[in-house]
Amino acid sequence: MNTFLENQNWRYATKKYDTTRKVSAADLEVLKEAIRLSASSYGLQPYKVIFVESEALRAKLQPAAWGQSQIIDASHLVVFANITDFGDTQIDDAIENLTVTRGLPADALSGYSDFMKSKISTLPVENRNTWTAKQTYLALGNLLNAAAELKIDVTPMEGFDPAQFNEILGLDALGLNAAVIAAVGYRHAEDATQHYTKVRKSNKELFLTL
Q: What is the pLDDT of residues 118-151, one digit of tens each?
A: 999 999 999 999 999 999 999 999 999 999 999 9
**Which domain range does residue 57 map to?**
21-86+129-187
Query: What confidence category does residue 1 fall into, taking pLDDT thresholds of 50, 70 and 90?
Result: low
In a domain, 64, yes or no: yes
- Listing DSSP states for 2-26 in one string gives HHHHHHHHH----SSB-TT----HH
Does residue 183 lie within any of the structural domains?
A: yes
Residue 70 covered by a domain: yes
pLDDT higher than 70, residue 61: yes
Residue 146 domain flag: yes
Percent helix, strand and coil across the chain, each to the nearest 5? 50, 15, 35
Residue 3 forms part of a structural domain:
no
Q: What is the mean pLDDT of residues 20-26?
A: 98
Beta strand 153-157 pairing with 47-52: unpaired
Domain of residue 64, CATH code = 3.40.109.10
Local confidence band at 65 (pLDDT 50, 70, 90 cut-offs): very high
pTM of the model: 0.96
Domain membership flag for residue 182: yes
The tally of domains found in the chain comes to: 1
Q: Which residues pair with residue 176 across a beta bridge? A: 83
Q: Is the pLDDT of residue 70 over 90?
A: yes
* Position 109 in a domain: no
84 pLDDT above the threshold of 90: yes
Is residue 111 situated within a structural domain? no
